[in-house]
């Protein structure tokens, strides 16, 4: 028994960016373009998009997002554009930009703060009314182009990282063009890619996984494993390589929306609210340790647990070596995750001011109902401690 979220109209492939103005024009004449502050501007694509939109008879407003969206950022943007009768919001950028645009589209029809509808914060349920939304990722990681939530952050001792969520918030259109990703730095490529990898593995081993999501994950892992290192190093300009990682991120987004995520994303919510650490970096630095703890807990619970068998299948995909023995197969996956961790020098938690004195508080506010196995506080502490 399972249910599936709707999907956007998906346009995938090199060169798809050129059709963006035509797609946006189907919603009306007033468009709010939400971007970051770097990639589209520096490549010249933003000015060409503005020209194409105006040539198509559209009036263009522009919002730049330079950080993970906060309630203040969303409320400020909505107060500026609420009375401009926006017909469509078009967000082009990384996961933070897409989440920011998604949240703005969800709040333009409301005269209240976004915190009113954030899970675990405001206590009210959004009714799903929104301005149509187009998502155009320029990094391959979060899969936000196909998810039904926007992550909103308030960083600090009493901070949070929670979602604005409704089935209607799935973007109306997702346009994924790997040509937009060739100029992404190696560091950002690695962090974003490991976010996608984390989402694939956590969705695969989720207690709520289905044959549908398993098929998506396996396809995503196949594309990811053959191109990840190349995208971060000597093949970063190869469109096919970038396309593989973009495809993996897309698959991860569809999978996670339907079956949830595990302990790494549980920490992303708690740690991300307490410390100013990029989401992808946190996933990259914790994935190997979290996978190790999951495997150990599953072995104690049941050496033949289905999630262990899935780790074996994942290990075969990422390593290219097929081993039927559970212990050996799991070891292959861990070896590959640790290899990427060392080769790409993922930052440690101490670089962001996280120390041993923060462990108890972090663990006390971390939740993960979709993890492969229930971890106790000691296991959760080990994951963090081993990445200081």
Instruction: Kindly give the pairing relationship between strand 30-35 and strand 88-93.
Output: parallel
> What does each of the 388 residues of the chain score in pLDDT, given as a tens digit?
888 999 999 999 999 999 999 999 999 999 999 999 887 887 889 999 999 999 999 999 999 998 899 999 999 999 999 999 999 999 999 999 999 999 999 999 999 999 999 999 988 999 999 999 999 999 999 999 999 999 999 988 888 999 999 999 999 999 999 999 999 999 999 999 999 999 999 999 999 999 999 999 999 999 999 999 999 999 999 999 999 999 999 999 999 999 999 999 999 999 999 999 999 999 999 999 999 999 999 999 998 999 999 999 999 999 999 888 999 999 999 999 999 999 999 999 999 999 999 999 999 999 999 999 999 999 999 999 999 9
Q: What is the pLDDT of residues 57-113, one digit of tens each?
A: 999 999 999 889 999 999 999 999 999 999 999 999 999 999 999 999 999 999 999
CATH architecture of 9-181: 3-Layer(aba) Sandwich (3.40)
For residue range 116-146, what is the model confidence (pLDDT) as tens digits?
Answer: 999 999 889 999 999 999 999 999 999 999 9
**Bridge-based pairing state of the strands 149-154 and 160-165:** antiparallel
Helix pair 211-232, 239-259: axis angle to 10 deg: 150
Distance CA 67, CA 89 (A): 18
Q: pLDDT by residue (tens digit) across 312-333?
A: 999 999 999 988 899 999 999 9
Contact 12, 69 (CB under 8 A): no
Q: Is 57 helix (H, G, I), strand (E, B) or coil?
A: coil
Residue in 111, 133, 121 with CA at minimum distance from that of residue 164: 121
SS3 track for 262-284:
CHHHHHHHHHHHHCCCCHHHHHH
Domain chopping of the chain, boundaries: 9-181, 186-385
Length of the chain, in residues: 388
Sequence-ordered list of residues with C-beta below 8 angstroms from that of 284, at least 6 positions apart, any chain: 190, 191, 194, 195, 198, 341, 344, 346
Name the CATH code of domain 186-385 (choices 3.50.50.60, 1.10.1060.10, 2.40.50.140, 1.20.1090.10): 1.20.1090.10
| Cβ contact 251:200 at 8 Å | yes
Distance (Å, whole) CA 372 – CA 345: 27
């Amino acid at each position: 028994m399972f249910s599936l979220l709707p999907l956007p109209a998906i346009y995938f492939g090199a060169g798809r960016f050129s059709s963006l103005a035509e797609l946006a024009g189907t919603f009306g004449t007033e468009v709010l373009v939400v971007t970051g502050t770097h990639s589209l501007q520096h490549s010249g694509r933003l000015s060409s998009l503005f020209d194409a939109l105006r040539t198509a008879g559209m009036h263009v407003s522009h919002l730049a997002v330079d950080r993970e969206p906060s309630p203040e950022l969303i409320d400020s943007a909505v107060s500026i554009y609420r009375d401009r009768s926006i017909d469509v919001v078009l967000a082009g950028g990384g996961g933070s930009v897409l989440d920011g645009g998604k949240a703005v589209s969800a709040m333009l029809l409301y005269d209240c703060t976004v915190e009113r509808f954030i899970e675990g914060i405001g206590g009210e349920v959004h009714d799903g009314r929104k301005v149509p939304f187009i998502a155009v990722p320029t990094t391959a990681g979060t899969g936000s182009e196909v998810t039904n939530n926007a992550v909103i952050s308030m960083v600090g001792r009493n901070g949070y990282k929670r979602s604005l969520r409704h089935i209607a918030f799935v973007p109306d259109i997702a346009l994924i063009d790997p040509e937009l990703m060739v100029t992404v730095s190696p560091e950002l490529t690695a962090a974003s890619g490991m976010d996608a990898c984390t989402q694939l593995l956590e969705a695969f081993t989720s207690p709520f996984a289905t044959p549908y999501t398993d098929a998506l994950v396996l396809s995503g892992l196949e594309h990811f494993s053959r191109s990840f290192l190349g995208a971060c190093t000597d093949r970063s300009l190869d469109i096919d390589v970038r396309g593989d990682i973009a495809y993996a991120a897309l698959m991860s987004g569809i999978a996670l929306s339907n079956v949830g995520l595990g302990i790494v994303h549980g920490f992303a919510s708690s740690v991300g609210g307490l410390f100013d650490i990029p989401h992808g970096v946190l996933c990259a630095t914790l994935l190997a340790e979290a996978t190790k703890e999951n495997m150990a807990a599953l072995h104690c619970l049941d050496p033949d647990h289905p999630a262990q068998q899935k780790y074996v299948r994942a290990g075969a995909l990422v390593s290219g070596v097929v081993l039927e023995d559970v212990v050996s197969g799991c070891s292959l996956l861990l070896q590959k995750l640790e290899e990427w961790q060392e080769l790409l020098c993922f930052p440690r938690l101490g670089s962001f001011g996280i120390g041993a004195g923060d462990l108890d508080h972090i663990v006390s506010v971390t939740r993960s109902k979709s993890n492969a196995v229930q971890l106790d506080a000691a296991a959760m502490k080990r994951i963090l401690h081993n990445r200081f």
